[in-house]
Structure 1
Amino acid sequence: MTTNNFTDCVLAIDIGSSSIKAGLFSSQCDLVEGSLVAVLHSQKFTSDGGVEENASLLRSSIESVIDGIVAMVEHRNLNIITVAIDSMASTIVGLDKNNDPVTPFFSYADTRNSEDVDNLKSLIDVDRVHQRTGVIQHTSYLPARIMWYKRTQPKLYSEISKWVDISTYIYLQWFHPEKVKSSFCISSWSGMIDRFRRSWDQELLNILDIDLFNLPELSSWDEPVSGLNKQFSDRWKPLKEVPFLLSVGDGLTANLGSGCVDSSKLAVTIGSTGAMRTIVSGNPKVPMGLWAYCFGRDMNILGGSF
């Protein structure tokens, strides 16, 4: 259903693996007619299992989508009251002290760290870490990715001040950095979150020899950031003081969009990868072969991929 019988609307942005999409919606989730904008982007696949993309170019693609929405808002006298973003999960980019990329952004599909997964598993109690972080350590997750980069690119590794997901990187570029946090949800897909404490997992930090200041501060998705920096306040005047909700994983929004918002329903996604997910209260035991990612302060997304 589409409608134009309102002024206030929400800007929803999806950062996908092949395109960036955005649209304006009413509080009843009705689409503003003609407001959908999409831009394609592409990842680089290498013969040794690499899947990566230039982080700055991807950010430019995201910003071009927002440019289109802002032009539409100004032309049609609409009022954006909130920005909500979902992002492909288990991404990582290493930033320097100025929050500029040192590395490409690496996708969950990059498997060049398979040797490091084996090394990591030899250093931990796999079952205990599975229950604590919600995941069996795998090439998709960040601990082995960081180990791999340190092992193969030691000089560039020494230039990295912070490791973040792609959505946190763009927030660091748009807002004053001291304001920017990363949601429990998107960070949980890193495989490095203690889901009981809602904090970075200290055992894994010790193994990786990194500190909390090398990672973003954590918060719930519903604690927004607002106040764009001068560059983007001038570029996106209608969004200058609009709250941006913290990004969440695209797997979560697949559940929310299909109405599978509690443990009575199961969502099935078939795309570049497949998954089944349900949303549960608390931090239940995770069956072998499945994973659990944080959602907000006290819920989990329980499921498996195929």
Structure 2
Amino acid sequence: MLPLDSIDIKYKISGRRIVLKNKTYLMGIDIGSTTIKAVTYDIYGNIISVGRKDTGNPEMIRENNLSVACWIPEKLWENVAECIRKSLEGIENSESVKGVAVSAFGVDGGPVDNNGKAIYPFISWQYLGTSEQMNLFLERISKTDTFLINGQVPWYACSVFRMMWIKKYRPDVYKKIFKWLLIQDYINCRLCGGFASDYSISSTTLILDQKKLSWSEEILGAAGIDEKILPPLKQSGEFLGGITDEASERTGLKENTPVIVGGHDNLCGSFAASGFTEGVLIDIGGTFESMILHTGGPELSEEFMRSNLISEASVMKNMHALYGFQYYSGCTEWIKSIMERSDNIGFWDYFKSNVNSHTKPGSGGLLFLPYLTGSYFPKDEKVTGAIFGITAETGRLELTRSLIEGLNFISKDLMNLIIKFSKGEIKLLRVIGGIAYNEFWMQNKSDILNLALEVPDIPEATSLGLAILAGMGSGIYKNPAEAIDTIKKSVKVFIPDKVNSEIYSSIYDNIYTDLSKTVWKISYDIKKFIK
């Protein structure tokens, strides 16, 4: 840990910003599908300034009479550069930034030349047309064999199918490809000129061999893709290069500032929350809920594949992440839309103020199975949601509470699956993300899972994880343990209520589990007779 007396903590006020002098900073750049953020931190993990901009929507281009949703790479780069410039406004001197790391959502990327400039728009995951390439791929290698190599079930958006699409529809472009870079790798290249990808984000291409941590010859052969177009692989936290003259002009970062290899966004977030600690399960609650457990190696089996869980290389050296997810946002937005009050009191404010005084565990006999967008483990979009036990006395509070209870029952399903395959003991659940600040939800989750729950004060977990990686790669921190010890965020703890946990355990074991199976069957029966 760095000694306090090595840092000048004097500051001055400049307009509405606090401009800190003579400090060491680290920057994490998080490229999300909706928002891009460049967050500047001090070495203690405190947010100093944030540059933020909407990612925007993919643009439609015409190709061979097809409408293809694509990201425009130069726009992505300019948006990232703008966010960096805005973030740097919060500090006095960009020389104080000693390391930068980047993450992005997976699968999306595209072809670049040997200067790192894009030679074709980056096809978005929103384009469904690559299903054609997936089907061709699966004629050559089975879904099971692919999973046993890569740890993910093939789906249309995997990067390898975009490569196949380009090869078929734009062979002239394919012949000119120097490297195929995922979005975060492309931004890294624009920053420092380095061509590389890390193991975690490369897992989303479907091409990474999880055991060997190398590009899979078998998968490349089935896809008909040349390995030479893929970038070298590096460990998250490794030095990639220094900020170039051009990037310095575009971003305001000092020339030669170290660019450090980042990682897949959720795994960077779990890293910031000390997800590498044995027995700690990370729960990221936002648009999706992602539960992540770090293990000593990949989990590759047919039974694991059928669960729809994912095994992916971690941002931590010699570790893998075992995780699954469910879709939160569709459920919460739906309940909010039908329960919104006509007065000026926000619905969630009303709910949090009244739920404990007006409702009890079990929501008065109401049970909500919130499969509003299908089931995720196993994956089945035909399964629909259901509400049982509704009466004339059921009100908005009971209905909303039952939705949260239902989502937390699914969280218990997911946790039990992870425990089954990890063969380890879960001692603690650590929750990050927007939902972590809903105290009723957190206490209810603790009660239903019958597990102690921590909410660390990490408002921007992904960018903090990136800042830690940047600090490790630039020598600020010796290792992850020192970084976490230096940062040490305050934590709010939720302990399961014994009485409530017993009630929920009885509901889960005696009602919920059987009812879920029944809903699956009824969902299929309904679709047979009602079109």
Q: Same fold (TM over 0.5)?
A: yes
Q: Which has the larger radius of gyration?
A: 2
Structure 1 segments unaligned to the other structure (5+ residues): none
Q: Larger deviation: 120-129 or 203-212?
A: 203-212
Equivalent pairs, count? 300
Partner in structure 1 of residue 217 of structure 2: 202
Whether contact under 8 Å (2:102, 2:188) holds in the other structure is no
Whether contact under 8 Å (1:49, 1:111) holds in the other structure is no
How do 1:222-233 residues align onto structure 2 when only pairs under 5 Å count?
222-233=237-248
Tell me if 1:293 matches 2:308: no
> For 2:127 and 2:281, how far apart are their aligned partners in 1?
28
Counterpart amino acid of residue 40 in structure 1: D
Whether contact under 8 Å (1:89, 1:108) holds in the other structure is no
Tell me if 1:10 matches 2:29: no
Provide, for residues 13-34 of structure 1, a one-character-per-residue CA deviation record: whole Å limited to 9, x for no partner.
11111121122212221122xx
Structure 2 segments unaligned to the other structure (5+ residues): 1-17, 327-531
> For 1:42 and 1:169, how far apart are their aligned partners in 2?
18
Counterpart amino acid of residue 65 in structure 1: C
Tell me if 1:41 matches 2:55: yes
Partner in structure 2 of residue 54 of structure 1: 72
Whether contact under 8 Å (1:79, 1:238) holds in the other structure is no
Provide, for residues 29-74 of structure 1, a one-character-per-residue CA deviation record: whole Å limited to 9, x for no partner.
1122xx111011212266988542101111110011112233443x
Partner in structure 2 of residue 188 of structure 1: 203
Pick aligned residue for 2:35 from 3, 15, 19: 19
Whether contact under 8 Å (2:164, 2:225) holds in the other structure is no
TM-score (norm 1): 0.86
Tell me if 1:212 matches 2:227: yes
Whether contact under 8 Å (2:112, 2:119) holds in the other structure is yes
2:157 is paired with a residue of what secondary structure?
A: coil
> For 1:76 and 1:243, how far apart are their aligned partners in 2?
16
Provide, for residues 126-166 of structure 1, a one-character-per-residue CA deviation record: whole Å limited to 9, x for no partner.
22321211111111211222222222333333333321101
Provide the aligned C-alpha RMSD in A.
Answer: 2.7
1:28 is paired with a residue of what secondary structure?
A: coil
Q: Larger deviation: 237-246 or 46-55?
A: 46-55
How do 1:120-269 residues align onto structure 2 when only pairs under 5 Å count?
120-176=137-193, 179-234=194-249, 238-262=253-277, 264-269=279-284
Counterpart amino acid of residue 171 in structure 2: P
How do 1:264-279 residues align onto structure 2 when only pairs under 5 Å count?
264-279=279-294
Q: Larger deviation: 182-191 or 44-53?
A: 44-53
Whether contact under 8 Å (2:199, 2:313) holds in the other structure is yes
Tell me if 1:302 matches 2:322: yes
Instruction: Give the deviation of 1:81 after TM superposition.
Output: 1.7
Whether contact under 8 Å (1:185, 1:293) holds in the other structure is yes
Provide, for residues 79-136 of structure 1, a one-character-per-residue CA deviation record: whole Å limited to 9, x for no partner.
1122122211111211234432122223334321112212111211322321211111
Q: Going by fraction, where is helix more abundant, 1 or 2?
A: 2
Counterpart amino acid of residue 227 in structure 2: L
Counterpart amino acid of residue 32 in structure 2: G
Pick aligned residue for 2:131 from 103, 114, 139: 114
Partner in structure 2 of residue 67 of structure 1: 85
> For 2:225 and 2:239, how far apart are their aligned partners in 1?
27
